[in-house]
Amino acid sequence: MTNPEHFTGSSGTGSHETPGMDTRLQELVLDSQDIAGFLTDLAVVAADRLSTPGSTVHAGITVIRHKRPKAVASSDDEARALDELQNGFGEGPCLTALRTKSPLLVPDLAGEHRWAPYMKVAQAQGVASILAVPLDLAGDAEAVLNLYSNRSHGFSAEDISTVESFARQAAGSLRLVLRITQLSEAKADLSTALQSRTIIDMAVGAVMAENRCSRETAFEILTKASSTRNIKLREVAAAVIASISGEKEIKTYFDA
């Protein structure tokens, strides 16, 4: 583990085993409709695994977008509020773990002198210890799993090991979700491009027939109309087709 000195002397809620976690994460990947949904489920699972009677753990996930941290998922409102507060201060254990790409434990907020403004607010919210573990997304994005306990020394050595193992598994699953999302977006972009090309080609053919001109001339007529009216070429083409056939919905052979 990176920075092991951060974890010395902690005594927590006990160990939490992880059998079946791989299967659960695989289910999350298969069930998720989008990245936000996957991350929310991930936060809920993490909080549930680490919470015990008398020791509630809240989990949030922060990612870097356009060089700025953003709370994107949480197990509950408390976790989201804590993440957003930290992002507002611009400093804290979770942001430090994210930036250094190293796990970081604050076993007792009352004895922590770093990030004083945030520590004071977090304590007022009932937080006594914080564990932050980055998710290695292999350059696809930057994210960190933030865990908040209402007990000082709320994360044991076994808990930390469990969370690190969970984070590794989760990062692998999240990379898969990102790939699936990227492929889905690429498919949607391709479908849109093909549909636009089909509509434009049909409009060019209509203009050629109407004006008895070449394809190049017909295309120039359409592009000139697009420029003059300051509207997209696809919209001009769609208007041409609609004026001739009344057809407004043009499907390609690639539409599902």
Q: What is the CATH number of the domain that holds 207?
A: 1.10.10.10
Cα–Cα distances (Å) from 245 to 202, 211, 248, in that order, read 11, 17, 9
Domain end, chosen from 183, 216, 234, is at 183
Q: Please indicate, yes or no, if residue 252 is contained in any of the structural domains.
A: no
Task: With a cut of 90, say whether residue 19 has pLDDT above it.
Answer: no
Cα–Cα distances (Å) from 11 to 15, 46, 72, 194, in that order, read 11, 19, 30, 60
Of all residues in the chain, the percent with pLDDT exceeding 90 is 28
pTM (2 d.p.): 0.59
Task: With a cut of 60, say whether residue 175 has pLDDT above it.
Answer: yes
The CATH number of residue 22's host domain is: 3.30.450.40
Instruction: Say how many domains are in the chain.
Output: 2
How far apart, in whole angstroms, are the C-alpha atoms of residue 52 and residue 13? 7
Do 21 and 103 fall into the same domain? yes
Greater pLDDT, 26 or 60:
60
How far apart, in whole angstroms, are the C-alpha atoms of residue 243 and residue 3? 69
Do 125 and 38 fall into the same domain? yes
Do 194 and 179 fall into the same domain? no
Cβ–Cβ under 8 Å, residues 68 and 84? no
Do 52 and 129 fall into the same domain? yes
Comparing 84-88, 114-118, 252-256, which segment has the lowest mean pLDDT?
Answer: 252-256
Q: Please indicate, yes or no, if residue 256 is contained in any of the structural domains.
A: no
Give residue 54's pLDDT.
84
Do 90 and 143 fall into the same domain? yes
Domain end, chosen from 183, 205, 237, is at 183
pLDDT confidence tier of residue 29, bands split at 50, 70 and 90 = very low
Query: Domain range spanning residue 103?
Result: 4-183
Report the pLDDT averaged over residues 92-107.
Answer: 92
How far apart, in whole angstroms, are the C-alpha atoms of residue 206 and residue 226? 16
Do 197 and 163 fall into the same domain? no
Do 147 and 203 fall into the same domain? no
96-111 in b/e form (b: 16+ CB < 10 A) is: bbbeeeebbbbbebee
Greater pLDDT, 246 or 121:
121
Task: With a cut of 50, say whether residue 1 has pLDDT above it.
Answer: no
